[in-house]
Amino acid sequence: MNQLELIARLKPETAKIDAAMRQDLASIDSPRLKEVLEYAIFNGGKRIRPLLLILAARLCAPQAEDGPGSGLYRLALAYEYIHAASLLHDDVIDHAESRRGRATANRVWDNTHVILAGDFLHSRAMWLAGSLGGVDCLAALSRATAGMVEAEFLQLANAEEMSRSRERYFAALTGKTGLLIAAACESGAIFAGAGDELRRALAVFGNNLGLTFQIVDDLLDYLGDEGKTGKAVGNDFKEGKMTLPLLLALETATAPDRARLLNWLAAGSAEERRLALPEAREIIDRARGFTTARRQAETLTKEALEALAPFTGRPELSTLKALTAYVLKREK
């Protein structure tokens, strides 16, 4: 299945997810809160997390509920809401000015409105998970959100200490992205009444897919087309973040090249790093940081697909395989 076929197959599902969100948000009394949320949520998101929950549920129970008003689709919203809340808060923390090609919500309104909107989505997600998925779904989502916060602290520490530890990098990556996608997949299995083995298999798949997604994000931050990604290239380096291409380059670069990278990271200002980005990109490329990071993403993708072995023959399997390939090859 190629990318166009995948988009055509998923389009009806994303439309149902959007319809379910509009139905859910219609109950909000505050016009301003509704305005902020609609601006932030209905802005071209891929809906990967809720899609994975729905596909996981159908892998485990082919007759899983259908339609925007069903419990399955409403449960799936919990994962889009947590994702959207994290993006709102990230934009405030990062002083971001654009996302997906337009002004961030904190530029249109202010930090107070955006933080409160994110808090609402977080609380709504927890209510949906607990009321529709029970204690196990609520526990999975709670573990993931707690892990996301801890990972942000770890990422800050990694930047402050200029940590060159791959172990700490992947710990931050797992918390930031892997846990939430793993929890979405596991929650689909929980909703479908699957046993522990299938729940674990889907959680492993989701975690590896999430790690792949984030490594590709790291690559796009250096190599992406701003017209496609909708955000400025080079933000990670400008902010001094130790992402995988940079870590790998620091391991293999020549001594002079390594010294230049470390000097920009340790002594340079954000503006100096912005100006140094083209040269830094050349150094990382020479040290095969981009190539090796891509190879790591490919390995994680392979491990993700291997975790789906218990589901051989299920019709949703081809969609999940195509979605995995899309995550690895995406350009935005």
Query: Does residue 331 lie in a domain region?
Result: no
φ, ψ of residue 28 in degrees (nearest 5): -70, 135
Judge whether 332 lies within some domain: no
Selection from 21, 26, 35 nearest residue 113 by Cα: 35
**Residue-level pLDDT at 76:** 95
How many domains is the chain partitioned into structurally?
1
pLDDT score, position 202: 96
- The CATH number covering residue 85 comes to 1.10.600.10
What pLDDT is stored for residue 108 in this prediction? Answer: 87
pLDDT value of residue 105: 87
In a domain, 330, yes or no: no
Burial group, residue 193, by CB count within 10 angstroms (0-12, 13-18, 19+): exposed
Q: How far apart are CA 183 and CA 180, in angstroms?
A: 5
Residue 329 lies in a domain: no
The pLDDT score that the predictor gives to residue 68 is 62
Q: What is the DSSP string of 101-132?
A: TEE-HHHHS-HHHHHHHHHHHHHHHHHHHHHH
Share of the chain above pLDDT 70, in %: 95
Q: Considering the domain boundaries, does residue 214 fall inside one? A: yes
| Predicted model pTM | 0.90
Intervals of the chain under pLDDT 50 = none
- For residue 87, the enclosing domain spans 3-324
Joined together, the tokens standing for residue 76 give 């799936």
How confident is the model at residue 53, as a pLDDT?
96
